[in-house]
Amino acid sequence: MNAIAAPAAGARSTSRWALASESLAARGGLVLLACALFVFLTVPLAMILVRSVEGRAGEFVGLANFMQYVQSPSLAQSTRNTLTFAALTTLTTVPLAFLFAYAIQRSCIPAKGVWRNLAMIPILAPSLLAAISFIYLFGNQGAFKFMLGWVGLTSIYGMPGMVMAMTFASFPHAVMILMAALALSDARLYEAADSMGTSDRRKFMTITLPGAKYGLISASMVVFTMAVSEFGVPKVIGGNTSVLAVDIYKQVIGQQNFSMGAVVALALLIPAVVAFVIDHLVQRKQQALLTARSVPYQPRPARLRDRLLLVFVIVIAALLLLVVGMAALGSLIRVWPYNMSLTLNHYIYGFEEYGIEHAYRNSLVMATWCAVLGATLTFAGAYWLEKTRGADLLRPAIRLQALLPMAVPGLVLGIGYILFFNLPTNPLNFLYGTMAILVISTLVHFYSSSHLTAVTALKQIDGEFEAVSASLKVPFYKTFWRVTVPVCLPSILDIGRYYFVNAMTTISAVVFLYSPQTTLAAISILHLDEAGALGSAAAMATLIVLTSAVVTAILFTLEGWLLRRTQKWRNTAKT
């Protein structure tokens, strides 16, 4: 009997050891995630607050820096300009995006997929591309400068150019939100309105707009936040119009006044946080528009409406292509507008002439690392958070930190990284000025959206998978690799694509962190513009667009191939 009982006891001991090991691994993963977010997000942001109450030499000065900045005339002017810039951009972008999304979702225009894809083009380009294009179009030597007089403008530089360029950059973000808001609606409401003889205008005002109000508010907050924290557009085409984002750059890079830079960063953080809080409160109040008894709305053909919306969509798509095409054309012109012959010199010699020939390669390296590490770490972190047990006290803190980057402008994050990682006493000081810190800052900057994407995908998987695996003594990592990853593969690829494109186009967070050896393509556009090499700046911007487009196409193709090989279970079996 003892000989028989001994193996059973040993098996139970092994089973307990395996469960304990899995529990330790799950808790360890959560602890690592919490520590990483604390070190690379929370502490750098806390350093901004600490430095804002210190003098240049590091001595404590209390609120003296705040008083000095508040009393300076430049603060009031920069604040007014920033809020005006953000408000005008929002008032311009959101109505245009709403009409575009309405045409896609609530009309019967042809080729909807084409127009939807064309609306996403600005995502592939750095915001500087639009500023450069508008200089070519309406600048002092612009091809269509004479058109400015038609709308009462004398110059594109300043607020007009900033609003136009930012409208281009923020347009696809608003369109995506509003398309989602208009995608679902209960057809019974429209049928009831038709039975009562309600006019199309009244149906639009009483059914369509109220149903999309939460999407409109969210889109407005996103566009407003993007404009408030935008640095590149005001720097290139803003002229003498000062904004808070440029003030930070001047204080830190121009005057090396990190204490005052921290004060301005906190000032920039306020409108961004307010917009984030408003958007969060609105989303909490949002109710489902489509219930189990609802009938999905299908638009009916209306000749006049469809024709007008088709014309509008074509005009918007043409304008988007014009902005991108103008930058590409400018990159091929020898000397605009004096020698209009075509040349590739801006691509072949332009980058080497200004010492930035390594910038494009650096961006490719950084974007690749961000795509691979970002997709892996973000999905693994979301899995630890949503699909494991234990360490319950850590989970609320992790969820809060995961959402924090969404409310923090990139410039503010960059300031925090300077203040924290550039400290000689910091054991992580070796990261400063390396490619690693560029990758880390970019991952943190865009972590929130990627985390939410991963969490959404994981919540679609029933928790019974993990429960059944645990009851069968299957290690959690096998369930993760054989079940969770294949099911969530589309979302993982989307996260990788999101990180790659944003790493190629971002400027705000990394503008303070690069070294001469790690200059990035998007940052080099700033240097080329400051040097007056607009053709080479346009060439670099065009390269970024082409690279983002090619990689996006490759990843879409790869995603389709992988889905066909690993997602056959999604197809309904034929009987």
Residue 575: per-residue pLDDT: 43
Tell me: the pLDDT tens digits for 254-276? 777 888 888 888 888 888 788 77
CA–centroid distance for 432 within its chain: 24
Residue 441: per-residue pLDDT: 94
pLDDT tops 60 at residue 6: no
Name the more confident of 79 and 478: 79
Tokens of 381: 């972190």
**Cα→Cα distances 510→176, 300, 323, 357, Å:** 26, 48, 25, 18
Tell me: the pLDDT tens digits for 277-303? 777 776 666 554 444 455 556 677 888
342 φ, ψ to 5°? -85, 145
Tell me: the pLDDT tens digits for 182-221? 776 655 666 666 667 666 677 666 666 777 777 888 888 8
pLDDT tops 80 at residue 342: yes
How many CA atoms within 13 Å lie on the side-chain side of 387? 31
What is the rounded average pLDDT of the residues 37-50? 91
User: Could you tell me the pLDDT band of residue 509, with boundaries at 50, 70 and 90?
Assistant: confident
Q: State how far the Cα of 461 lies from the Cα of 485, in Å rounded to an integer.
A: 11
Q: State how far the Cα of 272 lies from the Cα of 230, in Å rounded to an integer.
A: 11
Q: Which fold has domain 15-54+344-568?
A: MetI-like fold (1.10.3720)
Q: State how far the Cα of 335 lies from the Cα of 536, in Å rounded to an integer.
A: 11
Establish whether domains 15-54+344-568 and 72-288+295-342 are of one fold: yes
Residue 364: per-residue pLDDT: 94
> Is the CB of residue 542 less than 8 Å from the CB of residue 483?
no
Q: Where are the domains of the chain?
A: 15-54+344-568, 72-288+295-342
Tell me: the pLDDT tens digits for 135-174? 999 988 888 888 888 888 888 999 999 999 999 999 999 9
Residue 193: per-residue pLDDT: 63
> Is the CB of residue 334 less than 8 Å from the CB of residue 342?
yes
pLDDT tops 70 at residue 310: yes
**Cα→Cα distances 443→369, 407, 413, 440, 526, Å:** 10, 15, 12, 5, 22
- The answer as to CATH 1.10.3720.10 being correct for domain 72-288+295-342 is yes
pLDDT tops 60 at residue 383: yes
Residue 391: per-residue pLDDT: 67
